[in-house]
């Protein structure tokens, strides 16, 4: 594939088809650990079956506490599925600004500035080719996604991967990572303080069955979640 990530993500994205599920299309950094113990992740979903799209940034501090920042209220963004596992869910002004074909910056109010440069490895190139060729029926198969997750972890060097499972709030999820790139360079400042170099955590982080990668990975794809049911699922409001 010759297209660069910026040219791909700037194309119009549509809500993926699905019956009785909550569905999103977009891109994001699935996660990036820092040697200092901080962890960052971001989502840019311009297409959402819940209505307007949104941006979201997840932050784990060195003590292990999570905060989700989103441009939409918790009930219409990531906290809808992960809120019970975090300390806070805050509505914030988030911007994603591309400065080149492989470089972009994420800002959250005046709190975070995160500069990233993307690259490609043999493993991400192979998985992207697979994603482009794989028919839709296989992307809907939990057995296939489970096998892909088991293979992706060691091949990408990211630790454990699960593409299907249960979120902290109780909804089943299915992730379809169609295209992948590595994060080759990253610098983040939080409240004006540099968080230091990237590096794996001593213990891999997870929220429910969703495991956060042990190295920076950028993904374009779709996410599917079981429709929210107040009688079976926890509220979007965080535990804190």
List pLDDT tens digits, range 21-42: 999 999 999 999 999 999 999 9
pTM for the model stands at 0.95
- φ, ψ for residue 54 (rounded to 5)? -155, 165
Q: What is the per-residue pLDDT for 1? A: 46
Distance between CA atoms of 97 and 99, rounded to whole angstroms? 6
Q: What is the per-residue pLDDT for 239? A: 62
Residue 14 · residue 47 · CB < 8 Å = yes
First to last CA, the chain: 44
- φ, ψ for residue 168 (rounded to 5)? -55, -30
Q: What is the per-residue pLDDT for 19? A: 79
Question: 3-class DSSP state for residue 146?
Answer: helix
Query: H/E element holding 193?
Result: strand 193-194
> What parts of the chain have a pLDDT lower than 50?
1
Among residues 88, 112, 100, 143, the alpha carbon closest in space to that of 32 is found at 112
How far out from the chain centre does Cα 43 lie?
A: 5
Q: What is the per-residue pLDDT for 227? A: 93
Among residues 166, 168, 161, the alpha carbon closest in space to that of 214 is found at 161
Q: What is the per-residue pLDDT for 2? A: 53
Could you write out the three-class secondary structure of 33-56?
EECCCCEEEEEEEEEECCEEEEEE
How far out from the chain centre does Cα 28 lie?
A: 5
């Amino acid at each position: 594939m010759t297209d660069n990530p910026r040219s791909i993500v700037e194309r119009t994205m549509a809500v993926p088809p699905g019956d009785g599920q909550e569905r999103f299309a977009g891109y994001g950094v699935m996660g990036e650990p820092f040697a200092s113990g901080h962890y960052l992740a971001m989502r840019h979903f311009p297409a959402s079956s819940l209505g307007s799209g949104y941006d979201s940034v997840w932050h784990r501090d060195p003590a292990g506490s999570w905060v989700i920042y989103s441009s939409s209220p918790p009930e219409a963004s990531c906290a809808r599925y992960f809120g019970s596992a975090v300390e806070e869910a805050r509505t914030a002004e988030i911007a994603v600004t591309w400065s080149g074909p492989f470089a972009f910056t994420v800002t959250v109010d005046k709190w975070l500035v995160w500069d990233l440069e993307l690259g490609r490895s043999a493993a991400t190139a192979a998985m992207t080719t697979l994603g482009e060729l794989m028919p839709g029926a296989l992307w809907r198969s939990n057995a296939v996604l489970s096998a892909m997750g088991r293979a992706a972890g060691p091949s990408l060097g990211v630790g454990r991967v699960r593409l299907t499972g249960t979120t902290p709030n109780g909804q089943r999820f299915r992730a379809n990572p169609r295209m992948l790139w590595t994060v080759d360079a990253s610098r983040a400042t939080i409240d004006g303080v540099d968080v230091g170099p990237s590096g794996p955590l001593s213990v891999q982080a997870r929220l429910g069955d969703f495991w956060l990668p042990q190295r920076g990975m950028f993904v374009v794809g779709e996410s599917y979640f079981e429709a929210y049911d107040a009688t079976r699922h926890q509220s979007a409001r965080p535990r804190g």
